[in-house]
């Protein structure tokens, strides 16, 4: 199995702060990973490394067969789809949804005088259709709801048919229905033959789409655990990652987590005013 990327002993250090500490991590091109961890754990920093947007302070990074530091990163980035709030912030609010997706062909945000060929136009319409947002094509990005924006960003990231897709908190800010719609789409993508290698960052196990195969858990820049989801996503590892006792439930490929023991006290009659 060829590796989509391989990190060896990667650290990222800033004055007074170690953002990533000695991370070794290999992702195969047919694997779908979720990266879980609390606020400030280093998840976004890790995704920036894998997206060739940041060089590590130490360690080596090989992405799609190229070693970071020995390759033109602009070219490498065209092979990687990356969605994040940072990408969203760069998109002009007045840009049409169709142009947000189309302009990915040049890796630019904000259409200007680029010339697009028919293949780009066809691929744009196809991707808008696949992500259920064809009806939004003429709307401006700034008028979209959070759920609609998330879909447009994923469509943009997939427009260039990347070999690696990085999704930084795609479920953040979505209502229950929009989250479930997104998870269904990601499940379909994860199980499709032409899917790129996938890495999704999340705070919540409830946001793991069915079909995701592996998990990496981060705390304070260090890997708490990593490996196949079935063996690695455990209450014990979650408790260490989130620094509190966690109960984990699993049903038909979906997960739910909460603090262990939460609710027991509230059930006592003395607390509820009951007289049983
Ligand atoms: N240039 C920097 N200098 C110092 N600290 C930084 C710098 N950039 C990021 N950090 C810190 O590094 C830590 C990791 O940041 P990162 O954004 O990777 O975390 P995260 O896991 O994605 O967090 P969240 O879930 O809140 O988005 C945070 O505490 C952040 O404040």
Q: Is residue 265 part of a domain?
A: no
Q: Domain limits at 111?
A: 3-259
Q: Is residue 152 part of a domain?
A: yes
Quick one: pLDDT at residue 106? 65
| Cα 13 to averaged position of ligand 1 atoms, centre (Å) | 11
Q: Is residue 270 part of a domain?
A: no
pLDDT above 90 covers a percentage of the chain that reads 71
The rounded distance, in Å, linking the Cα atoms of 206 and 183 is: 10
Determine whether the shortest distance from the Cβ of 264 to ligand 1 is under 6 A: no
Res 115 pLDDT > 80: no
Stretch 199-227: mean pLDDT = 96
Residue of 10, 18, 36, 44 with the most ligand 1 atoms within 8 Å of its CB, for mutation:
44
The enclosing domain of 32 has a CATH number of: 3.40.50.300
> What secondary structure letter does DSSP report for 41?
S
Determine whether the shortest distance from the Cβ of 42 to ligand 1 is under 6 A: yes
Residue of minimum CA distance from atom 12 in ligand 1: 19
The rounded distance, in Å, linking the Cα atoms of 228 and 33 is: 9
Q: Is residue 145 part of a domain?
A: yes
Res 102 pLDDT > 60: yes
- Number of structural domains in the chain: 1
Record the tokens describing residue 208, joined without a space: 């793991």
Q: Is residue 30 part of a domain?
A: yes
Query: pLDDT tens across 239-261, in order?
Result: 999 999 999 999 999 999 999 98
Helix (H, G, I), strand (E, B) or coil at 62: strand
Query: pLDDT tens across 145-161, in order?
Result: 988 999 999 999 998 88
Determine whether the shortest distance from the Cβ of 61 to ligand 1 is under 6 A: no
Q: Is residue 264 part of a domain?
A: no
Nearest in space to 187 (alpha carbons), one of 212, 167, 168:
212
Q: Is residue 276 part of a domain?
A: no
Determine whether the shortest distance from the Cβ of 43 to ligand 1 is under 6 A: yes
Quick one: pLDDT at residue 272? 47
Nearest in space to 164 (alpha carbons), one of 63, 254, 232:
63
Q: Is residue 273 part of a domain?
A: no
| Cα 168 to averaged position of ligand 1 atoms, centre (Å) | 13
So what's the ipTM on this one? 0.97
């Amino acid at each position: 199995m060829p590796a989509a990327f391989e990190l060896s002993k990667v650290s990222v250090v800033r004055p007074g702060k170690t953002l990533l500490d000695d991370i070794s991590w290999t992702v195969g091109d047919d694997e779908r990973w979720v990266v879980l961890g609390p606020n400030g754990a280093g998840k976004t920093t890790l995704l920036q490394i894998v997206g060739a947007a940041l060089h590590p302070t130490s360690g080596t990074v090989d992405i799609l067969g190229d070693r970071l530091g020995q390759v033109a990163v602009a070219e490498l980035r065209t092979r990687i789809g990356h969605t994040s709030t940072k990408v969203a912030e760069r998109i002009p609010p007045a840009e049409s949804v169709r142009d947000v997706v189309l302009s990915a062909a040049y890796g630019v945000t904000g259409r200007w005088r680029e010339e697009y060929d028919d293949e780009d136009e066809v691929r744009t319409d196809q991707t808008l259709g696949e992500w259920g947002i064809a009806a939004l094509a003429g709307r401006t990005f700034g008028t979209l709801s959070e759920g609609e924006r998330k879909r447009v960003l994923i469509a943009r990231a997939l427009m260039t048919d990347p070999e690696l897709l990085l999704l930084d908190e795609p479920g953040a800010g979505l209502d229950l229905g929009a989250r479930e719609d997104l998870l269904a789409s990601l499940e379909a993508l994860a199980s499709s033959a032409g899917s790129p290698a996938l890495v999704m960052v999340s705070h919540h196990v409830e946001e793991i789409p069915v079909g995701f195969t592996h998990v990496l858990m981060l705390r304070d820049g260090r890997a708490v655990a990593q490996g196949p989801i079935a063996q690695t996503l455990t209450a014990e590892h979650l408790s260490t990652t989130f620094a509190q006792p966690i109960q984990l439930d699993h049903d038909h490929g979906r997960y739910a987590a909460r603090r262990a023991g939460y609710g027991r006290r509230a059930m006592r009659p003395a607390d509820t005013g009951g007289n049983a």
